[in-house]
Amino acid sequence: MARTKKLRMFLFATLMVFFLLTGCNSESSGSGNEGSSSDSGAKEDKIVVGFSQIGAESGWRTAETESIKETLGNDPQYKLKFSDAQQKQENQIKALRSFIAQKVDVIALAPVVESGWETVLQEAKNSGIPVILLDRGIDVEDESLYTSFIGSDFIVEGENAAKELIKLMGKDSQVNIVELQGTVGASAANDRMEGFANIIKEHPNYKIIKSQSGDFTRSKGKEVMEAFLKSDGENIDAVYAHNDDMALGAIQAIEEYGLKPGEDIKIVSVDGIKDIFEAVIAGKSNIIVECNPLLGPQLAQAAKDLHAGKEIEKWIKTEEEVFVGKEEAEAALPSRKY
Ligand code: GZL
Ligand 1: residue whose CA is nearest its atom 6: 135
Q: Per residue in 214-273, pLDDT tens?
A: 999 999 999 999 999 999 999 999 999 999 999 999 999 999 999 999 999 999 999 999
Q: Are residues 279 and 174 in the same domain?
A: yes
The pLDDT of residue 96 is 98
Please give the Cα distance from 194 to 56 (Å, whole number): 25
Probe residue for ligand 1, chosen from 114, 291, 295, 318 as the CB with the greatest number of ligand atoms within 8 Å: 291
The domain containing residue 327 runs over which residues? Answer: 154-291+322-335
The pLDDT of residue 18 is 56
Q: Are residues 210 and 129 in the same domain?
A: no
Which atom of ligand 1 is least distant from the CA of 273? 11
Q: Are residues 239 and 330 in the same domain?
A: yes
HEC readout, 206-254: EEEEEEEECCCCHHHHHHHHHHHHHHHHHHCCEEEECCHHHHHHHHHHH
Mean pLDDT of 269-285: 98
Q: Are residues 194 and 247 in the same domain?
A: yes
- Tally of domains in the chain: 2
The pLDDT of residue 319 is 82
* pLDDT confidence bin for 44, thresholds 50/70/90: low
* 186, part of any domain: yes
Q: Are residues 202 and 275 in the same domain?
A: yes
The pLDDT of residue 8 is 66
Q: Are residues 162 and 205 in the same domain?
A: yes
- pTM as predicted: 0.86
Mean pLDDT of 1-6: 58
Q: Per residue in 160-201, pLDDT tens?
A: 999 999 999 999 999 999 999 999 999 999 999 999 999 999
Which residues, in sequence order, are CB contacts of 295 under 8 Å at separation 6+?
Answer: 64, 67, 68, 134, 135, 150, 151, 318
CB 196 within 8 A of CB 162: yes
Q: Has residue 134 got a pLDDT over 60?
A: yes
Please give the Cα distance from 138 to 318 (Å, whole number): 17
* 95, part of any domain: yes
Q: Are residues 193 and 327 in the same domain?
A: yes
Probe residue for ligand 1, chosen from 60, 191, 289 as the CB with the greatest number of ligand atoms within 8 Å: 60
Share of the chain above pLDDT 90, in %: 86
The pLDDT of residue 210 is 98
* pLDDT confidence bin for 11, thresholds 50/70/90: low
Probe residue for ligand 1, chosen from 187, 216, 218 as the CB with the greatest number of ligand atoms within 8 Å: 216
The pLDDT of residue 7 is 65
The pLDDT of residue 234 is 93
CATH of the domain at 129: 3.40.50.2300
Which atom of ligand 1 is least distant from the CA of 242? 9
Angle, helices 274-281 vs 325-332, to 10°: value is: 140
Q: Has residue 37 got a pLDDT over 50?
A: no
* 37, part of any domain: no
Which atom of ligand 1 is least distant from the CA of 192? 9
Q: Are residues 51 and 142 in the same domain?
A: yes
Q: What is the mean pLDDT of the chain?
A: 91
* pLDDT confidence bin for 318, thresholds 50/70/90: confident
Protein residues with CB under 6 Å of any ligand 1 atom: 57-58, 60-61, 135-136, 151-152, 188, 216, 243, 245, 270-271, 291
Q: Has residue 152 got a pLDDT over 60?
A: yes
- Give pairs for 254-258: CB < 8 Å, separation 24+: 254/225, 254/229, 255/284, 256/226, 257/226, 257/229, 257/233
Mean pLDDT of 34-38: 30
- Identify each DSSP E strand in 144-191 by its residue range: 148-151, 175-181
Choose among 214, 192, 334, 189: nearest CA to 274: 334
The pLDDT of residue 45 is 84
Q: How far is the CA of 215 from the centre of ligand 1 (A)?
A: 10
Q: How far is the CA of 243 from the centre of ligand 1 (A)?
A: 7
Q: Per residue in 78-126, pLDDT tens?
A: 999 999 999 999 999 999 999 999 999 999 999 999 999 999 999 999 9
Strands 175-181 and 315-317: unpaired
Q: Give the DSSP per-residue string, 93-147.
A: HHHHHHHHHTT-SEEEE--SSSSS-HHHHHHHHHTT--EEEESS----S-GGG-S
Q: Are residues 234 and 199 in the same domain?
A: yes
Q: What angle do CA 329, 179, 334 make, to 5 degrees?
A: 15
Please give the Cα distance from 284 to 298 (Å, whole number): 34
In sequence order, what are the beta bridge partners of 151? Answer: 317
Phi, psi of 336, rounded to the nearest 5 degrees = -70, 135
